[in-house]
Structures are given as C-alpha cells and as structure tokens.
Amino acid sequence: MDPIQQAMLKKSHAAKLERRGKLISLFCISLIVVVVLAIFFFVASRGLATFFTNKVNLWRFLSQTTWSPAVKDASGQPQVGALPMIVGSFGVTLLSAVIATPFAVGAAIFMTEIAPNLGKKVLQPVIELLVGIPSVVYGFIGLSVVVPFIRNIFGGTGFGILAGTFVLFVMILPTVTSMTVDALKAVPRHYREASLALGGTRWQTISRVVLRAAMPGILTGIVFGMARAFGEALAVQMVIGNAALLPTNLISPASTLTSVLTSGIGNTVMGSLENNALWSLALLLLLMSLAFNLLIRWIGKKGEIK
C-alpha cells in the first residue's frame, strides 16, 4: 500500500476525537439511566422483603392502623399498619394543593393577563425567591410561627396535619404558579382577541376562554405541586408531630410516610422487620412519585388531542 492510500484509509484525528467525544457523552447519559434503575432495584429489594421474607400480608400492611413493627399482636402477626401514614401523606398533599391552587392560578392570571408589568417586576422575583428558600427553613418557620399560632387558636399541641398543610402550601405555591404562568402564556393571543371582539369582558375572556384552553397545563402544574408535597420530608416532619396514629382531626399529631422514614430509619437495625417495614414505606413513596409522573403524562396526552 502506498503512503497516500494508507493515510486515506486511516481514521483521521478528528474522527478519533469525534468517537471519543460521543463515547464520553454516551457514558454520562447511561450513568443516569443506570442510577435510576439502581434506585428502583435497591429500594424494591429492601421494601419487598417485608412481604417475602417477613411474610407480612400486603393488604394488612395497607389497611391496618397500628404501626409498631417491634410488637406482635394476638395472632402473632407483626403490627405494621401503614394506613395512618398513608392517610397523613395524602391528607397534607391534597389539602395543600386545594389551598394553593386558587392562589397559584390567581397569581398566574395576574401576572399574564391583568398586570404583566407589575407581575414581571414584583411577582416574578417573589416567586423565584420562594422556590429558592430551603425546605428546612420552611420547617423552622412552621415550627416557630405556624405551630404556636395554631396552638393559640385551636388549642392542643399545634402539631398536626393543619400545620403541615400550611407549610406545604407555601412550598408548592411557587411551583404551581410558575407552571400555570407557562400554561397561560402558551394560549394563543388570537383566542383572547376573538373573545374580546365578541364583547366579552376581561374576566369573561379569562374564565371562559383562557383558563379552559390552558387547563391541561394548569392541571400538570397542580400535579407537580402535589408530587413535591408528597415527597417533602423535613419541613413536614418538623411540624406534623410524628405520632403514627390515624388522624381524627387536623390539629392532632399525625405522621406521613416521609416523616416516619426520616425519624425512623436511623434507629432500626438493617435487615430487621422494623427496618424492612420502613423500606416498604420508601417503596410506597417511590411508587407514588411514579404514579404522579404517569398522571402528568396522561394529562399531557389528553391535552394534546383537543
């Protein structure tokens, strides 16, 4: 082979660089996928041990109301009833979403439809700052302001679902608001013009045209907020009272999946039933976050078709 032919057939320096670069980037992205799979594998293998190794009945786990894994009941079954935590988690999540939604949607309408200038100069930075405040700070404020406030008004200890709801309300407000703003901004301008041209007032235009068109986006924002509220650990743990009892009212101490996890996992021995039961709660948390993800996808698909 003559040298020219050899040079032509050999990979150029640039081609080698290209190959190497592509491999590097492929490696990075595969690492992320592997991490996600590993999270599912490890949490599931621990969480399922409660049911396969310790032979706890899944239905009992979800429906019993007594959570004291170290104690066995009359029939010799360990008492791992996760219902109080499940109720607590869903309680704070739903309540905070119910309170946050009108505020978030209202603020978003204000920022896009009523006073865009004021919205951009004042509300936008406010929302961005609220996102940035660390969750322990919310927890601390909840502990030193919200809990005593509730105690003074309703009596009791002040710890409970109501305090958790207040803290989560402020935490998810910015998330829902900024996603609603995006959804409202995505509504084409001529929708508004058409409605105004028909003689609709601004509010009629907003409520009957803009909000309807933006509905899938707004719902996505709300579900995102709920996912965040469901998974929030420390801020809730600090104000909810951490009593694994089925909540009977909003101001008695309760607990959530995350609060039991954060306070319990360090005090149990790896591989014991107490520990496995906590991992089952973590698995439940993981599955719920997956469910929220699917819900968001489903809403997105539904919204596309219209």
Partner 1 sequence: MDAKKIDRLATTILYLIAGIIVIILASLLGYILVRGLPHISWHFLTAPSQSFKAGGGIGIQLFNSLYLLVLSMLISVPLALGAGIYLAEYARENKLTEIIRTAIEILSSLPSVVVGLFGFLVFVLQFGFGFSILSGALALTMFNLPLLTRNVEDSLRQVSFDQREAGLALGLSRWETVIHVIIPEALPGIITGMILGAGRVFGEAAALIYTAGQSAPALDFTNWNPLNIASPLNPLRPAETLAVHIWKINSEGIQPDAAAVSAGASAVLILAVLLFNVLARVIGNRIYKKMTAV
Please give the residues from 243 up to 282 whose contact with partner 1 meets the rule CB under 8 A.
258, 261-263, 265-266, 270, 279, 282
Distance between first and last Cα of the chain:
65
Helical ranges in 110-134 per DSSP H: 116-118, 124-132
Contacts (CB under 8 A) with partner 1, residues 190-209 = 200-204, 206-207
Task: Report how many residues bind partner 1 under the rule CB under 8 A.
Answer: 88
**Among 96, 162, 164, 232, which residue interacts with partner 1 (rule: CB under 8 A)?**
232
Contacts (CB under 8 A) with partner 1, residues 160-179 = 170, 173, 177
Contacts (CB under 8 A) with partner 1, residues 28-57 = 28-29, 31-33, 35-39, 42-43, 46
Q: Rounded to whole angstroms, how far apart are CA atoms 235 and 242?
A: 12
Residue with the two structure tokens 């041209």: 197
Residue closer to partner 1 by CB (options 64, 160) is 160
> Shortest distance, CB of residue 72 to partner 1, whole angstroms?
26
Decide: is 291 part of the binding site for partner 1 (CB under 8 A). no
Contacts (CB under 8 A) with partner 1, residues 65-124 = 102-103, 106-107, 109-111, 114-115, 118-119, 122-123
> Shortest distance, CB of residue 14 to partner 1, whole angstroms?
4
**Among 57, 71, 134, 185, which residue interacts with partner 1 (rule: CB under 8 A)?**
134
Q: What backbone phi and psi angles, to 5 degrees, belong to 272?
A: -80, 165
Among the listed ranges 49-57, 59-67, 140-148, 213-221, the one in contact with partner 1 (CB under 8 A) is: 140-148
Distance of CA 36 to the CA centre of its chain: 17
Compute the half-sphere exposure of residue 280: CA atoms within 13 Å on the CB side of its CA: 30
Residue closer to partner 1 by CB (options 64, 253) is 253
Residue closer to partner 1 by CB (options 9, 74) is 9
Contact assessment for residue 143 and residue 122, using Cβ atoms and an 8 Å cutoff: no
Q: What backbone phi and psi angles, to 5 degrees, belong to 72?
A: -100, 145
Residue closer to partner 1 by CB (options 64, 242) is 242
Q: What backbone phi and psi angles, to 5 degrees, belong to 228?
A: -65, -40
Residue closer to partner 1 by CB (options 94, 143) is 143
Cα-Cα-Cα-Cα dihedral of 127, 133, 139, 142, to 10°?
Answer: -40
Contact assessment for residue 255 and residue 157, using Cβ atoms and an 8 Å cutoff: no
Decide: is 26 part of the binding site for partner 1 (CB under 8 A). yes
Residue with the two structure tokens 């592509």: 22
> Shortest distance, CB of residue 36 to partner 1, whole angstroms?
4
Angle, CA of 126, 129 and 135, to the nearest 5°: 130
Decide: is 130 part of the binding site for partner 1 (CB under 8 A). yes
Q: Tell me the two tokens of residue 104.
A: 């978030």
